[in-house]
With several copies, the nearest count.
Chain A
Amino acid sequence: MDKSMLGDLDNLPEEDKVRMSTMIDQLQIRDSLRMYNSLVERCFNDCVDSFRRKTLDKQEETCVRRCAEKFLKHSMRVGMRFAELNQGAATQD
């Protein structure tokens, strides 16, 4: 949205930069944990539909593994494309 604000931060003293980087770290930890939760939810929903036993069978386990791996690869690809678009938008200004 507003990229101009990031320029202002260079004027801030050292302690504020520390505070800013702590904030970024905290957001990244929160985001990783949320991603973990939503990945579990998605792969469980897509792969587990029978509740006759209380342990995953081999087929369900394989499905969950592939689902998680596929999602992570997808997420990395989206990340690359997203970064390109963000850069393009930044250099357009």
Chain B
Amino acid sequence: MAAKPPSTMEKEQIFGMAEKEMEYRVELFNKLTHTCFNKCVEKRYKESELNMGENSCIDRCVSKYWQVTNLVGQLLGSGQQPM
């Protein structure tokens, strides 16, 4: 918001936070990917294509995982604020 350039300390904190934030997103994506593969994909590997049922399961799984992420985020955040 302000135009004032950040100090060295602030900069280090911004970089540190940005790094943790990116690690968090990568881990979220990886956990989501592995979880939805476990829930939706047939493991006998009769073919290397995803079939229609698997594809729609994956789409819904990603959507629901996203909602669970938001729901749990609200619960964790509400610790500081009045419920």
Question: Range of interface residues on chain A?
Answer: 35 or more
- Given A55-B67, A69-B75, A85-B63, answer yes or no on A45-B11 (Cβ-Cβ < 8 Å): no
> Chain B residues near A64 (CB, 8 Å)?
68, 71-72
B19-58 at interface with A (beta carbon < 8 Å): 19-24, 26-37, 39-41, 43, 45-50, 54-58
> Chain B residues near A49 (CB, 8 Å)?
39
B39, B40, B47: which contacts A66 (Cβ < 8 A)? B47
- Given A29-B20, A65-B75, A82-B32, answer yes or no on A73-B68 (Cβ-Cβ < 8 Å): no
B82 interfacial by beta-carbon distance below 8 Å: no
Assess the B62–A66 pair: CB atoms within 8 A: no
A5, A11, A46: which contacts B5 (Cβ < 8 A)? A11
> Chain B residues near A66 (CB, 8 Å)?
45-48
- Which chain A residue has the least Cβ–Cβ distance from B56? A51
- Which chain A residue has the least Cβ–Cβ distance from B45? A66
Assess the A63–B45 pair: CB atoms within 8 A: yes
Assess the A74–B50 pair: CB atoms within 8 A: yes
Assess the B20–A81 pair: CB atoms within 8 A: no
Assess the B67–A69 pair: CB atoms within 8 A: no
> Chain B residues near A52 (CB, 8 Å)?
60
B29, B34, B39, B45: which contacts A70 (Cβ < 8 A)? B45
Give A contacts to B, CB under 8 Å.
1-2, 5-6, 8-9, 11-13, 16, 19-20, 22-24, 26-27, 29-31, 33-49, 51-56, 60-75, 77-79, 81-82, 85
